[in-house]
């Protein structure tokens, strides 16, 4: 549901990893609020997604730079950048995980954001306004067994996000981190299938195992729209004094006092 006073007409938004799951939900949320939305990913989004699609592969410096150029050519710059593109390599015991696996997770979950920010945030600085939302994960605070490289790459994203906020805050640019909990997206289903195959059980059983293991107070996984609402709020004027902070959307998994 789009709240009336949260309309965002004219806002130019880029959502990476926007072809499905959390990225798709976020793109739809901004579009419903009247924003001009661009999405970038390796695969096309659904045909009914009200956004301009730019094919991009953010696993390389060249891919991020090319996306930045195409975005500027298309809309002249952006007001909100949602660095959502990410991935996790297959579960693996920590001491058996290869360098290639570590590097793949760092490339996708940290450097893709670093590179795209480098291409687009200077335009925000020049205009004196803008919002960068880094989509991290509660795994950065609560790493799970056999998933060390993913958790470490997201923890690195958190640290980078905090420093970037300090670097650009005086120019009117805000940088925030959103940490989803156990959210069932298409990508999560793929990962759940890998875990299920390792155990020889079904995906639903693995899903329930995770809910039970994490002791989710809400008793269920999250939905992509739950996180998209937080992202839309953080990009709005109502969050104009929020920067350099992490916002958990996890159904209460991580207990804090």
| Token pair 């976020």: residue | 26
Residue 147 has phi, psi (to 5 degrees) of -130, 35
H helix runs in 5-147, sequence order: 21-32, 61-75, 99-106, 112-127
For residue 177, count other CB atoms closer than 10 A to its CB.
Answer: 27
Q: Checking phi first, is residue 78 left (phi over 0); if not, alpha (psi -120 to 50) or beta?
A: beta
Place of tokens 């975005």: 71
Residue 249 β-bridge partners = 180
Residue with tokens 């590097």: 103
Q: Which of 88, 105, 143, 150 is catalytic?
A: 150
Beta-bridged to residue 132, according to DSSP, are: 81, 175
Query: Which of 222, 240, 146 is CA-nearest to residue 182?
Result: 222
> Active site includes 171?
no
Q: How far apart are CA 176 and CA 186, in angstroms?
A: 24
DSSP state of 140: G
Nearest to 80 by CA among 5, 170, 156, 176: 176
Angle between helix axes 148-168 and 112-127 (nearest 10 degrees) is: 10
Which residue numbers are catalytic? 150
């Amino acid at each position: 549901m789009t709240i009336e006073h949260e309309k965002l007409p004219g806002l130019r938004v880029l959502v990476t990893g926007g072809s499905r799951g959390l990225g798709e939900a976020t793109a739809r949320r901004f579009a419903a609020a009247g924003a001009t939305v661009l999405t970038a990913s390796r695969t096309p989004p659904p045909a009914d997604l009200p956004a301009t699609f730019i094919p991009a592969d953010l696993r390389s410096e060249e891919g991020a730079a090319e996306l930045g150029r195409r975005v500027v050519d298309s809309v002249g710059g952006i007001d909100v950048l949602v660095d959502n593109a990410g991935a996790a390599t297959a579960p693996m015991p920590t001491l058996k995980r290869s360098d290639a696996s570590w590097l793949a997770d760092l490339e996708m979950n940290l450097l893709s954001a670093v590179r795209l920010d480098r291409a687009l945030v200077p335009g925000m600085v020049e205009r004196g306004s803008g919002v960068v939302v880094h989509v991290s994960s509660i795994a950065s605070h609560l790493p799970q067994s056999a998933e060390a490289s993913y958790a470490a790459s997201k923890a690195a994203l958190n640290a980078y996000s905090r420093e970037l906020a300090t670097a650009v805050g005086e120019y009117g640019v805000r940088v925030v981190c959103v940490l989803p909990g156990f959210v069932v997206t298409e990508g999560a289903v793929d990962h759940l299938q890998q875990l299920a195959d390792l155990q020889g059980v079904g995906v639903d059983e693995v899903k329930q195992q995770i809910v039970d293991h994490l002791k989710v107070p809400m008793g269920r996984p999250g939905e992509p729209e739950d996180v998209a609402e937080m992202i839309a709020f953080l990009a709005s004027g109502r969050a104009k004094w929020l920067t350099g902070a992490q916002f958990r959307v996890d159904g209460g998994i991580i207990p804090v006092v």
